[in-house]
A and B are shown apart, each in its own frame.
Chain A
Amino acid sequence: AQTVTQSQPEMSVQEAETVTLSCTYDTSESDYYLFWYKQPPSRQMILVIRQEAYKQQNATENRFSVNFQKAAKSFSLKISDSQLGDAAMYFCAYRSANGGSNYKLTFGKGTLLTVNP
């Protein structure tokens, strides 16, 4: 079974600064997808960024980018120019690309990000 570990329960950053959230995972599969989701107080999970394991290039979405290290099974999220609206819980998630259970997301426990003005 796959597991996802987020070792930072809480992080804080000053507005306009850069912060990196860590995520490691364990899998025996070679083809999978990794995600970062944001959960604001509204509780709705919002997709921030997605990485396909077979792609070596790191995904980027505006101020959000990832550092995907497949051999190390590491998938960190970098938020640049942090804004007050970035404050939320961030979850790392894994999804198999194999047909058997590729509908299911496996989540880490989350990192609570605080942005200080």
Chain B
Amino acid sequence: GAGVSQSPSNKVTEKGKDVELRCDPISGHTALYWYRQRLGQGLEFLIYFQGNSAPDKSGLPSDRFSAERTGESVSTLTIQRTQQEDSAVYLCASSLGSGVGYGYTFGSGTRLTVV
């Protein structure tokens, strides 16, 4: 596609429920990233994919968070047993490669609200 697409745009869920957030990167982009943006904060790195592998999961805040990528394309971020502190905007980005010469293209994010 022309850009990075994320769905849903907004999600309201009850505490304790599981949620899945989807990211469709630009076709051909091998690197994919998830970041979290809490209210009033900068973006925090969550996870990085190169192809379908995740060499760096160091930013995932707890074992309730997991992510996968298939077909070197779509990625899904899953949050199990959501808590109120999980409320944030989750941003996905992709790039042609992972080297510093490759710039990121961001999606518009999913705003998750846990009530």
A residues near B, CB below 8 A? 4, 6, 33, 42-47, 50, 91, 95-97, 101-110
Give how many A-B residue pairs fall within 8 Å (CB-CB).
57
Q: Which residue of B lies closest to A100 (CB)?
A: B56
* Contact in complex: A91, B42 (CB < 8 Å): yes
Of A33, A104, A110, which is within 8 A of B45 by CB? Answer: A104
Cβ of B21 under 8 Å from chain A:
no
Of A46, A91, A101, which is within 8 A of B43 by CB? Answer: A91
* Contact in complex: B56, A43 (CB < 8 Å): no
* Contact in complex: A105, B43 (CB < 8 Å): yes
Within 8 A of A (CB), among B48-99: 48, 56, 89, 91, 93, 95, 98-99
How many B residues face the partner with a CB closer than 8 A?
25
Q: Which residue of B lies closest to A103 (CB)?
A: B98
* Contact in complex: A33, B100 (CB < 8 Å): yes
Q: Which residue of B lies closest to A31 (CB)?
A: B100
| Complex interface: chain A residues within 8 A of B111 (CB) | 43
